[in-house]
A and B are shown apart, each in its own frame.
Chain A
Amino acid sequence: MSSVLESQNTLSHAHADILALRKDFPALQQDVYEKPLVYLDSAASTQRPQAVIDAVVTHERTNHANVHRGVHQLSQRSTEAYEGAREKIRAYINAGSCEEIIFTSGTTESINLVAASLGKSRLTDSDEVVVTWMEHHSNIVPWQLICEQTGAQLLAVPMTPDGELDLDEYDQLLSDRTKIVAVGHVSNALGTINPLEQIIAKARDADALIIIDGAQATPHFRIDVQALDCDFYAFSGHKMFGPTGIGVLYGKSSLLDAMPPYQGGGEMILTVSFKETLYNTLPYKFEAGTPNISGAVGLGAAIDYLSDINFEALAQHESDLLSYATTEFIKLPGARIIGTAKDKASVLSFTLGDIHAHDLGTIVDREGVAIRTGHHCAMPVMEHFQVAATGRASFALYNNRDDVDRLILGLQRALELFA
């Protein structure tokens, strides 16, 4: 009995710690339209804590120089900061080595890199690539492009009415022709958390490579790429409290080693001559040109920030916010939730009567509440649910129940205006 109480106590302390995180985010301390800002668009881009802003500023002010180039002091500092960030990311996602951590401009580039490089070396016109109906456009279009070039077929796993992947259909689509399975960890438009363990195991049985779009997962969970046993995992800095323009591709080194370069240029070579160019070792083979150094440093700082967070308490906090928001939202007349999967991240995608999502977005904005409206770069999802657009409130570690109340108030204003 006492141990139950103790663990409850520990959790409520941990919850208080989560609630205190909001003060770390300067952007959330402002008013818009003379009302305190309520930021519910973290699935598009999260705000940054002061620690991340400081890390970027310090780097820019005192340490900036090109990396891996000069023998001078600043170049050494810059290289140390850049490679230090890589090591932080490696440790955080439990990759085997820093060779497996490639810096990119974001998830989109990470997926394009894999699609272009794997496509060139592995796909033929008798092969198939499997994606899902739930994907963000950035996990569809790169595969369409490479399928066009190679003649491979692109197949998509359908969804159930709740917005979950239909795993029986997934079974049906897999065959010995399947070479690549590309699937999102968490749906940006619906919040659905996909059962990766099952999805990856089935891809393994079919002998297919598996790439995970983790852009929407990293702000909510701690990822362990070795436990997942995926071949590639892509994510973005700016969706996990870091800067824009920086992201990561994790890939198993045995695969990355065998893959041809994605882009050519400086940094990715050992020697260049007109007879033959020798490529650099991993991860540099895939990092042509001068990278986004301060972005990487900022992402490293975001990883430090996240490393101090109790993810169990965060999960409970976000799940409480989602269920509170869901309960309050469905009280509104005409409320419809788009995406009602059993396992959901803190994303509420919705329509309200016949009020168009853009009108809702404008009205709640004037109430100081920032939500995303539109197709969320997931037009097949909109097609599946037969809606042109939805409103989407996405919650992150810095949101609280007051934010939900303000959202509901804004939506009530919309109902009044359109009554």
Chain B
Amino acid sequence: MNDLQELYREVILDHNRHPRNFGELEDANRVVEGVNPLCGDRMTLYVKIIDKKVQDIRFKGTGCAISVASSSLMTERAKGGSLDEVESLFEQVHEMLTSDITGSSINLENLDKLAVLSGVREYPTRVKCASLAWHALKSAIAGSEDKISTE
């Protein structure tokens, strides 16, 4: 059970139960749909970018606890951030999810609450669940409005 609690930490369960920034954003100027073809999960990310800053960000969709919590935590953290900051955040989260932390330069303390997602690393089949939202965000700040897929 300990292993599982490492993955499903309280913060993740909380964000799954009560996702922050959930729903459509009417005045979004970037809308990206993310799809995980493996499980059929889909999420839509709405971002309002003004003066190279994420003024507002919301998401909706269906997904597993990891995917919903990752989206929720991401919106919480990205809101108000500059595009450069968000880009750097993406890189750090991506590395945290996919690389061996002992050999990595990632400082989990910098990631603050997002560090709860680090447990996903031990579950290779679930990494895509956690990274879907982040790929959608990267695509949104790159200015493309289209579908992205984890495959």
- Tell me the A residues contacting B by CB distance below 8 Å: 33, 355-359, 362-363, 366, 373-375, 379, 382, 388-389, 413, 417-418
- Closest B residue by C-beta to A383: B40
Q: Which of B41, B123, B126 contacts A389 (CB 8 A)?
A: B41
Whether the pair A388, B1 counts as a contact (CB closer than 8 A) is: no
| Complex Cα spacing A306 to B78, Å | 58
For the complex formed, measure the closest distance between the CB of A359 and the CB atoms of chain B, giving whole angstroms. 5
**A366 partner residues in chain B, CB cutoff 8 A:** 1, 3-4
A366-B4, A418-B13 in contact; A359/B64 too (CB < 8 A)? Answer: yes
**A373 partner residues in chain B, CB cutoff 8 A:** 39
Whether the pair A389, B40 counts as a contact (CB closer than 8 A) is: yes
Q: Which of B1, B38, B41, B67 contacts A413 (CB 8 A)?
A: B1
Q: Which of B8, B62, B129 contacts A388 (CB 8 A)?
A: B62
| Complex Cα spacing A388 to B65, Å | 13
Whether the pair A356, B40 counts as a contact (CB closer than 8 A) is: no
Q: List 15 A-B contacts (CB under 8 A).
A: A356-B63, A358-B39, A358-B41, A358-B64, A358-B126, A359-B64, A374-B39, A375-B39, A375-B40, A379-B40, A388-B41, A389-B39, A413-B1, A417-B8, A418-B8
Q: Which of A356, A379, A417 contacts B64 (CB 8 A)?
A: A356
Whether the pair B40, A362 counts as a contact (CB closer than 8 A) is: no
**A379 partner residues in chain B, CB cutoff 8 A:** 40
| Complex Cα spacing A141 to B66, Å | 31
**B39 partner residues in chain A, CB cutoff 8 A:** 357-358, 373-375, 388-389
Whether the pair A362, B7 counts as a contact (CB closer than 8 A) is: yes
For the complex formed, measure the closest distance between the CB of B104 and the CB atoms of chain A, giving whole angstroms. 24
- Closest A residue by C-beta to B4: A366
| Complex Cα spacing A357 to B13, Å | 15
- Closest A residue by C-beta to B40: A375
For the complex formed, measure the closest distance between the CB of A373 and the CB atoms of chain B, giving whole angstroms. 7
